[in-house]
Structure 1
Amino acid sequence: MPRFQVPLRDMQFTLLQALDGEAHYASLPAEESLTPDLISAIFEEGARFAEDVVAPLNRVGDVEGCRFDQGEVKTPSGFRQAYQQYVEGGWPSLAHDPAYGGQGLPESLGMIMNEMISTASWAWSMYPGLSHGAMNTIETHGTDEQKAVYLTRLVSGEWTGTMCLTEAHCGTDLGLLKTRAEPEGDGSYRITGTKIFISAGEHDLAENIVHIVLARLPDAPQGTQGISLFIVPKFLPTSEGGIGVRNGLSCGSIEHKMGIHGNATCVLNFDGATGFLIGPANKGLNCMFTFMNTARLGTALQGLAHTEWAFQNSLDYARDRLQMRSLNGPVAPDQPADPIIVHPEVRKMLLTQKAFAEGGRALIYYCALLVDRSKLSTSPAAREKADSQLALLTPIAKAFLTEVGFESANHGLQVYGGHGYIAEWGMEQNVRDARIAMLYEGTTQIQALDLLGRKVLMTQGETLKSFTKVIHKFCQAHREHSALSEMVTELAALNTEWGELTLGIGMKAMQNRQEVGAASVDYLMYSGYITLAYLWARMAVEAHRQLKEGQGDGGFNQAKLATADFYYKRILPRTRSLAVMIQSGAEPIMALDAELFSREYG
């Protein structure tokens, strides 16, 4: 049967040793007391909650799903009780400002806690997960009164939050949205319209739900320049901050979906609901990016979650399942057949999962530390550098990790063979649940256009250079490494090629802007493979140091080095084909007239 164990040793190695988290926290104001022992204690307590309380709900949520009845949503058995334990444990407040009831820890630790519960049950984790984006948005853009009323209860977990962007006719193109916001004369607005695909938009876990809604004022310009942002609660707060009357919004239905059945994906109807402007008028999309960037890193976590879950369960199965003999002769002569982990193709799938899980964890933790620096560093230059790297790495993390997460989930099913297709083993659920991650919070294609078009080319490559310089300095420092110089040399060459490919696309785009769209997804995946190569090199250097100095767990460090070697020799070569495809340009894609796609001409 499926299981999940929080990979505490790898989490601690990645954060505290490979990424030098201890020095990172010591450099932040008011975080000097965040010692490795305290971090380990937080991790261990979070692991108990994830394994004992949340993980058993993963299968329950898939089988039962959510129940919809006359506008009300009932979550699967155990979901509400688990959420109450989550609130009682103080987990919602972990990484938020003490001024609003938070514990004041860095956001990176909150993201790592989210990794634990996300892997245990992605569908359950979405209910509290979306609240963090609402908290960040209100904390960044809200008034003091809005923070006092809404932020304090979101931080405590009494209330949860959502973001309401999408409408049936506009999808990603938010410039087309039609939801209206009409001023009432008392500082409030009447919100009218319908939003779709609202995750956790209605449920029975918390007493109130705070919706962060995009809408248009009557005199707003067309397009994205005319969008404003509003707080629209399910229940209007009383003057004392408690629960008041029901607002003019309702859940019209919940979607019947391929996966994440335990999370309610809602159609929300706003029928003259009372809302409150957050941030400047007509600047709502700018403000919403605070929420969206939080959600994109959260979705990157989903890619990691499905990878880790697939790896753990397919590894267990591969060790136990007996089938055929090793080509070099019996490995288990006392058994009727050998365990399938002896077969190279099975090992290749397992090592691919392991490389993506541990490399993806390093990427998310690297981004999490950048979030800390961008918010907490006392140096303006350090904050600016962190923001620049985050701008580049957020679309890479979101799209690349969800793509390879789906690949890893499919490998997990494949390791099980026919049993993987059967529901009771949980592998087919993992595949179904993973598929949405490449779609919501901006599809892979949208993230790729954001990366190449907005983040790289529109900055004349400066955002890219903010990160490639980091890789260059690492390669310079380790080019004479006694055991890893070959790895470092390859990373340095790819880092140079990354800049050359970018320049080539930019030159072509000056003549034909379609070149950007034609190259974008290949470019993003190429960028992802190099980014993970850098992080795997960092982990390899640390693992080698520990082995040489007799520190740490020798077997763990040997496994790190072997997995790094596998990544460089069996996964990183994918960049070769991606480079060729990028250089082939837009012509092979755009040459066929749209009319000739018809089967009549085939």
Structure 2
Amino acid sequence: MFFVLQQVLQAPAQLQTLPAHAETDAALMEQVLEEAGKFVADAVAPLNREGDEIGAQWKDGAVTMPPGFREAYQAFWQAGWPSLACATEDGGQGLPAVLEAMLYEMLSAANHGWTMAPGLLHGAYECIKHHASDELKATYLEKVATGEWLATMCLTEPHAGSDLGLASTRAVPLEDGRYALRGTKIFISGGEHDLSDNIVHLVLARLPESPPGPKGLSLFLVPKFYPDGTRSAAVCERIEEKMGLHGSPTCVMRFDDAPAWIVGEPGKGLNAMFVMMNAARLHVGLQGIGLLEAAWQKAHAYAQERRQMRAPGSASKAGQADLIGTHPAMRRILDTQRAWVDAGRVVAYRTALELDIMKQHPDAARREAASRWCSLVTPVLKSAWTDQAFTGASACLQVFGGHGYVREWGIEQIVRDARVAMIYEGTNEIQAIDLLVRKVLPDGGTALSALLTELATELGDSPEAERTRQAMTRFAQFTTEHLLAATRAPGASPELPFWLADDYLRALAMLLMAWAWSRVAAAPQASGPRWTDAHTGFWRWVWPEFDTRMAIMGTSLNAA
């Protein structure tokens, strides 16, 4: 992880151009990551299996977390981990966002269920910091920044999932300036638990006589306990029985005229909430990377111990069995996942760096370029790497054969836990639509072409780099000369870009991976079997998907 940060991305040098991080050097970043690794390994990882098997328990509206979860969380926030990237004036440490991102990758790999609890903290912090009143900030901002109090994001309703404009939870003004919330929210991660002494709920609701649709939604804050110690009428009706993430309570929350404060302006609730959602989508992409890393580690270790048959071309004597890690079929599985993990880290850490650059760089043009990167790359990162977390973890299970299908080895839990990341924080299909329909087509592909031109200048002189440049040019030309023309042609079906969106996102993911591997190959010290095998795995087994996706889109355009 530090190799990618230091050698591939030269993160310390980039960060030192920002006033807030002028003193952030490689030694400091490495020390933070080393300590994070120790904490995650010692306090969080050992709870993973028991968290899955025992799970969160609901009784009479209260949720008891699995053994050890509360103690680990209390140690987590008291050690300052949730506040890494929060401002010092809010009780945070003021460190770069990329360190927080890398911490949460570790946490997701170690114990996805436990990590769901603090996973929304930074988004809630940003939402309160930028949109709440001074009075609300005085009470809640530092508590959320430090992680002393956990937070939720209450959006979904039984009839309103991806289409939040259908939300019907009501907010009625009260005489004291607050609002009474009434309605039911579902799929609320951490809506009730015993990890922290308070829970801050951020709830989308509709004011009386507000217009229908998303523009009629406002955002409200209601805590589990008010400042005077009384408990709010935010009730956990039950927790869901899920495929995975048993250590995370997914709650049905009922608000029985619970007094709440408005956050931001009336009717601008989604604007405030999207501050949380955009930060969350980067972290969901990192969940995919972390879970795939965990699956690869288990499968790789097993492949170095299990012997079965002679591998093709083996020098073993007749009748002797080779390690399954020497068999081409298993090497293909392992090298493919390794290629995804390492390229994903380059893309994700670069995205986290761009978040700080977008906020703080003194040059407006550089801030604009960072904003372009985050806008275009975040949906790709969230969608492609969570897809691969599930399919790749399933492939890693295959390395174990029948042993992978039983609980003893732990790989089946990763498969179950990983599946949800393809759904929440905007389904992967919505990520693809967001990329193509909302971001690429409206400006005629201008921003995308600028991004690809920028990436092309960062490539080296290797044959793979030249192949990547040609592919980038081909992709940009397809967008501007074929796709754009087809969607704007007289009589063109409005459905056309929606049919192509998934393939378009996957093709762009391949280009980002090719760029990442070019950067890795050019970095000092990128040698040894680990990097060589993964590099070969990308170009041999992953990269051909680019041509496949381009062919599918070409066929679809011709048919249209």
Task: Give the TM-score range, shorter chain.
Answer: over 0.9
| Bigger Cα displacement from structure 2, 562-571 vs 386-395 | 562-571
The structure 2 residue matched to 1:147, chosen from 137, 140, 143, is 137
CA apart distance, 1:219: 2.1
The structure 2 residue matched to 1:465, chosen from 427, 436, 449, is 449
2:403 aligns to what? 419
The structure 1 residue matched to 2:478, chosen from 501, 505, 513, is 501
| Bigger Cα displacement from structure 2, 466-475 vs 14-23 | 466-475
For 1:286 and 1:88, locate their aligned partners in 2 and report how far apart those are by CA, in whole Å: 31
Contact in 2 for aligned 1:505/1:515 (Cα 8 Å): no
1:361 aligns to what? 345
CA apart distance, 1:553: 7.4
CA apart distance, 1:186: 2.4
Deviations 1:88-124 (A, max 9, x none): 2111111101111111111111111111111110110
For 2:172 and 2:558, locate their aligned partners in 1 and report how far apart those are by CA, in whole Å: 48
1:246 aligns to what? 231
Distance 1:553 1:516, change over 3 A: closer
1:371 matches 2:355? yes
Q: Superposed, which structure 2 residues align to 1:390-401 within 5 Å?
A: 390-401=374-385
SS class of match (1:197)? strand
1:124 aligns to what? 114
1:283 aligns to what? 268
Distance 1:583 1:344, change over 3 A: same
1:579 aligns to what? 550
The structure 1 residue matched to 2:365, chosen from 360, 381, 397, is 381
For 2:367 and 2:41, locate their aligned partners in 1 and report how far apart those are by CA, in whole Å: 36
Distance 1:155 1:582, change over 3 A: same
For 1:474 and 1:379, locate their aligned partners in 2 and report how far apart those are by CA, in whole Å: 20
Deviations 1:534-570 (A, max 9, x none): 111111111xxx2xxxxx4753xx6424422331232
Contact in 1 for aligned 2:192/2:199 (Cα 8 Å): yes
SS class of match (1:512)? coil
For 2:138 and 2:364, locate their aligned partners in 1 and report how far apart those are by CA, in whole Å: 28
1:62 aligns to what? 52
CA apart distance, 1:587: 8.7
Contact in 2 for aligned 1:537/1:564 (Cα 8 Å): no
2:12 aligns to what? 22
1:209 matches 2:180? no
Contact in 2 for aligned 1:124/1:262 (Cα 8 Å): yes
1:187 matches 2:145? no
1:593 aligns to what? none
For 1:340 and 1:400, locate their aligned partners in 2 and report how far apart those are by CA, in whole Å: 28
For 1:68 and 1:391, locate their aligned partners in 2 and report how far apart those are by CA, in whole Å: 39
2:76 aligns to what? 86
Contact in 1 for aligned 2:486/2:557 (Cα 8 Å): no
Contact in 2 for aligned 1:12/1:40 (Cα 8 Å): yes
Amino acid at match of 1:347: R
Deviations 1:287-324 (A, max 9, x none): 11111111111111111011100111100000100000
Unmatched tracts of structure 2, length 5 or more = none
CA apart distance, 1:337: 1.2
Distance 1:211 1:334, change over 3 A: farther
CA apart distance, 1:345: 0.6
2:499 aligns to what? 518
For 1:564 and 1:471, locate their aligned partners in 2 and report how far apart those are by CA, in whole Å: 19
CA apart distance, 1:460: 2.2
For 1:468 and 1:272, locate their aligned partners in 2 and report how far apart those are by CA, in whole Å: 51
Contact in 1 for aligned 2:170/2:206 (Cα 8 Å): yes
| Bigger Cα displacement from structure 2, 443-452 vs 579-588 | 579-588
The structure 1 residue matched to 2:223, chosen from 226, 230, 233, is 233
1:76 aligns to what? 66
Amino acid at match of 1:349: I
Deviations 1:6-25 (A, max 9, x none): xxxxx111111101112112
Normalised by the size of structure 2, how large is the TM-score? 0.97
Contact in 1 for aligned 2:483/2:557 (Cα 8 Å): no
1:529 matches 2:529? no
The structure 2 residue matched to 1:538, chosen from 519, 529, 534, is 519
1:329 aligns to what? 314
For 2:251 and 2:555, locate their aligned partners in 1 and report how far apart those are by CA, in whole Å: 42
| Bigger Cα displacement from structure 2, 218-227 vs 260-269 | 218-227
Contact in 1 for aligned 2:204/2:219 (Cα 8 Å): yes
Unmatched tracts of structure 1, length 5 or more = 1-10, 239-243, 547-551, 591-602
Contact in 2 for aligned 1:518/1:586 (Cα 8 Å): no
Contact in 1 for aligned 2:104/2:287 (Cα 8 Å): no
CA apart distance, 1:199: 0.7
For 1:146 and 1:524, locate their aligned partners in 2 and report how far apart those are by CA, in whole Å: 40
Amino acid at match of 1:523: Y
1:7 aligns to what? none
| Bigger Cα displacement from structure 2, 458-467 vs 299-308 | 458-467
1:489 matches 2:460? no
2:248 aligns to what? 263
Contact in 2 for aligned 1:330/1:337 (Cα 8 Å): no
| Bigger Cα displacement from structure 2, 105-114 vs 206-215 | 105-114
For 2:371 and 2:314, locate their aligned partners in 1 and report how far apart those are by CA, in whole Å: 55
Contact in 1 for aligned 2:132/2:263 (Cα 8 Å): yes
Contact in 1 for aligned 2:520/2:526 (Cα 8 Å): no
For 1:416 and 1:130, locate their aligned partners in 2 and report how far apart those are by CA, in whole Å: 34
1:434 aligns to what? 418
Deviations 1:414-437 (A, max 9, x none): 000000000111111110001111
CA apart distance, 1:380: 2.4
1:338 matches 2:338? no
1:6 aligns to what? none
Contact in 1 for aligned 2:171/2:179 (Cα 8 Å): yes
CA apart distance, 1:378: 2.2
SS class of match (1:458)? coil
1:312 matches 2:297? yes
CA apart distance, 1:492: 0.6
Amino acid at match of 2:128: I
CA apart distance, 1:577: 1.3
Instruction: Kindly report the root-mean-square deviation, in angstroms, between the aligned alpha carbons of the 2 structures.
Output: 1.6
